[in-house]
Chain A
């Protein structure tokens, strides 16, 4: 599969290129070009998987099925639009003197590497490699978070590093235990970590080992996914890094972590035959939603605010996956899609807004809609969409999730609704304050990239009204795989 090779090698090539040329005048465009071609390869891959079913490649080292290819497409797409957004954003940062040539090289190289590791994590068939990719993703972004070298950003990056490093170490332990269980069935050697193999023998795995393995995996990847109480790295990392990185952290990294959890759950369910894994995930999901909802009420930094919003949505998706079943998993997958699109759109808008205001403090951003209507309305509509107001797609996902929850877990649905209402108030109040009111912002030298914002919002809007049949079939297939 040449497109798979392109998909994985192109970002790597990009990273190497930018390690040397990342500070050149045309680097932002080149960055977008690399991402664009990667996205193209992802689309081709997606079409192939859609047409021919799951694919294995390179001696079973890579495996792409409906679940992963959908995330591959999403990741590549958001990676591309974010690179478009990053173009004027980073130029403005340079103008503002916040980044120098070295930082710019680091930024572009790591951006490509990050997207590459995400794609690797999604396409690999080996759960060991999945772990390696996740760890690499952490390492690539950790330096980006501290790109500005302000005390706060160094702090945030350190926190990110330590908490995620420790977390991901737990995931490795889980992986080792899984290997232990699989080895007894599949024998040693390379095959015992292959997903395609594991999936086939999942009901023969030793339950007591898999239970412990799942706990470690859940805690490990849950840290990356930002599940409460393992989420503490997330708000700071979101707040302090350059906004394009925030957008991909929120829109992509969290998804990939959830992807790992969802895969783990399939194995755990198969081995245990009890709803234990699902119950744990539902518990985490609920706790996450509730805590994140209340935390939004206390935020004064706009990027932290939306960081908590991401935490909340990860909780919802975890809850959906935990509940299981075709409908809930479908809702979870749809939620992943729309959350990625919407949240990155929000961060694009927030990025420009914070550059205009010269601060991330919510109270000091006012009247966006006057100074730049497009950014203002983008932020407003994005905020509305992420809060689950129709006609945006987040609502479609929440509708499916909540109605299913009401049949299956009425008490949990009630808790979710209360939390959603609280975060609705908390976020709307702040978004409104920033978008409306008398303006206090200054114009920017480089025109903001509005297109990605509205492309994302348009897609989200479309998904609220209309789910293309191929997408629905895709989700169903993926839900079948992991439900």
Chain B
């Protein structure tokens, strides 16, 4: 690098500007479709470049830039450090896949305004970059809210449907409330003499009370975006409403920006952590995780299911962050690094496989116009590419070796198993419960994903038209395959990924996982080889070796005669597609076991019904326990307030008169 001075920050900035330019170009394009498609592909190239550039910057010292924009006295500060770089890598990778897919996806143009969508899509990408680069409160808020705003427009891009409009509304309101909490948090954090740059905040002194207040506000603010309980309600509404590539971006990347913000404030801007924060975060994370997975199990809409699954995954990440804080507060930096790495790794994983799965649902919707699990099935036959890609995503999200989801869960479990070294006995007692919750959620997640994949892709088609569904086109396949490759490679070479993540941990905690990561490229050994080790490549090689050996043996030793016949099914003669287990049926056991969690409305047929009909709706209890009462309260207050405004001039004059007299008496009394 002696002759080329390469600095990543301007390059990253350039990519963001490039995306903005693409968006504007998209707005001005003619109705000519192909021109529009090229824009998304060009955007994908930008994503790849971003990932490479940011990966390059991972280990570097932070670089900063100031733009001559922003408020007077508070110009836009940008900073690229390892934490931001890691999330930029995540963003770049996910965007590459999603934009490639979008190239093939945003073609029909029948329902949405292509040009406006293209604009918002690329602005959304750029806004996320700016969120990650921001180094002062104002820039951060501007980028953060712009991100919310454009994603709101994307969510409502098909706004002819009332439920999509209300989903978008709910989303933006929750996002805005969260943003206000973040604003308050910055207000608490601000440095000496009102410094709102992050640099000033880092060096500010504050009492434990204010530090805790700031952390809790950050938890609420970023929780609203990430979907921590009880601010998760928008997720299952907004994700299904958005076009699938947008759902993928929101779930895969945007939620991570909230995690980024939490880490930025929790570890970077607040230099000292307290164990109680960690316990709060841990508990909140676990509850969110369980809640998400249980609701995912009973969904009948495939995108809602994935949205609830996102809540689960975010809860897992939060739990890991909580654990990291607990370790950090007890001066155990190596273990904190382990937990933090698990969190970050899971962020990356979730970005890859959740994007992949949302894109797969996009392909399915594109081909079938169906979102309800009750009307899908058997798509593995007409859509083998999509089904194959979705299978990888399903196995990855279910946390199975040798794919990537397993690695992060494995690291997190290792961190949990190391927590008995904590000096505080009360904390130690939390550990088993927390571990139990974690593994339970992981296991139910596998259940959920089997349901998802099985009902959508396997079995017999539940609608006749599904047989003629078309597979993804070349661009869509490219996007899917890119993400599949990401899942597989991150799963098989976790040590490489951990090397990158380790820089982040080092940057935030002052010490990373250290030599433990660098031991051997084949084995992940978070603490020491005796303690634990895992080598996904060997596991895969083992499975493939045995499978091929057995296959060859069987092939050579025995005849391979195969005959096709109707399914046996214990000899039942008529087998229609309606006799398969439905999505509701699949969720039924979970519903029954965890009944107190749900709010279930049943419509039971009576014995005398001519056309008996059974219907059950499962709803979020929190919606009724929290959101609706809140809305009612606000409406009631509005009712009281509006009584002031009754249209009688005399009374209005009385108001003025009373105000005047009250003020006069007030100042006379002073």
Contacts and interface: CB of A to CB of B under 8 A. Distances in A.
A and B directly contacting (CB within 8 A): yes
B666 to A, nearest CB: 8
A464 B641 contact: no
Interface string B126-162: 0000000000011001111110110000001001101
Given A399-B141, A407-B190, A472-B72, A219 B638 contact: no
A212 B180 contact: no
Interface string A268-310: 0000000010001000000000010011011000000000000
A218 interface: yes
Contact of B649 (A158, A400, A425, A476): A158
Contact of A417 (B138, B180, B639, B647): B180
A298 B664 contact: no
Interface in A404-463: 404, 406-407, 410, 413-414, 417, 420-422, 424-426, 428-429, 432-433, 436-438
Contacts of A467: 71-72
Contacts of B176: 387, 389, 421, 424
A229 interface: yes
Interface stretch (B167-175, B420-428, B592-600): B167-175
A391 B142 contact: yes
Interface in B410-431: none
B354 to A, nearest CB: 27
B61 interface: no
Given A327-B194, A391-B146, A421 B180 contact: yes
B465 interface: no
Nearest to A297: B638
B436 interface: no
Nearest to A405: B187
A428 B644 contact: no
Contact of B667 (A167, A211, A436): A211
Given A432-B169, A465-B70, A219 B660 contact: yes
A291 B641 contact: yes
B410 to A, nearest CB: 40
B543 interface: no
Interface of B: 68-72, 113, 137-138, 141-146, 148-149, 156, 159-160, 162, 165, 168-169, 172-173, 176-177, 180, 183-184, 186-188, 190, 194, 196, 634-635, 637-639, 641-642, 644-645, 647, 649, 652-653, 655-656, 658-660, 663-664, 667, 670
Interface string A376-397: 0000000010010111000110
B165 A437 contact: yes
Contacts of B72: 467, 469, 472, 476
26 contacts: A159-B649, A163-B656, A170-B656, A229-B655, A230-B655, A232-B645, A232-B655, A294-B638, A294-B641, A297-B634, A297-B635, A297-B638, A373-B113, A390-B146, A395-B142, A403-B183, A403-B194, A406-B187, A413-B187, A417-B180, A417-B183, A436-B159, A436-B160, A437-B160, A467-B71, A472-B72
B363 to A, nearest CB: 27
B183 A295 contact: no
Contacts of A373: 113
A466 B69 contact: yes
Given A215-B660, A399-B141, 19 more contacts: A155-B647, A170-B656, A216-B660, A230-B656, A291-B644, A294-B642, A297-B634, A297-B635, A298-B642, A367-B160, A390-B146, A391-B145, A403-B194, A432-B169, A436-B156, A436-B160, A464-B142, A465-B142, A466-B70
Contacts of B71: 396, 399-400, 467
Contacts of B187: 402-403, 406-407, 410, 413
A230 B660 CA distance: 10
Interface size class of A (residues with CB under 8 A): 35 or more
Contact of A428 (B172, B194, B663, B664): B172
A421 B177 contact: yes
Nearest to B76: A465
A11 interface: no
Interface in A157-209: 158-159, 162-163, 166-167, 170
Given A163-B653, A390-B141, A417-B180, A406 B188 contact: yes
A255 interface: no
B149 A399 contact: no
A229 B188 contact: no
B653 A276 contact: no
* Among all A-B residue pairs, the 3 with the closest Cβ atoms: A406-B187, A436-B159, A472-B72
Given A215-B664, A467-B71, A162 B165 contact: no
Contacts of A167: 656
A116 interface: no
A389 B141 contact: no
A402 B183 contact: yes
B106 to A, nearest CB: 18
B351 to A, nearest CB: 25
Contacts of A158: 649
A235 interface: yes
A428 B141 contact: no
A323 B120 CA distance: 38
B173 A424 contact: yes
A223 interface: yes
A437 B667 contact: no
Contacts of A436: 156, 159-160, 165
A329 B177 CA distance: 26
Contacts of B169: 425, 428-429, 432
Nearest to B196: A403
Contacts of B68: 466
B664 A212 contact: yes
Interface string A300-337: 00000000000000000000000000010000000000
A295 B645 contact: yes
B670 A403 contact: no
Contacts of B172: 428
A298 B634 CA distance: 11
A407 B184 CA distance: 10
A399 B183 contact: yes
A327 B73 CA distance: 11
Contacts of B642: 294-295, 298
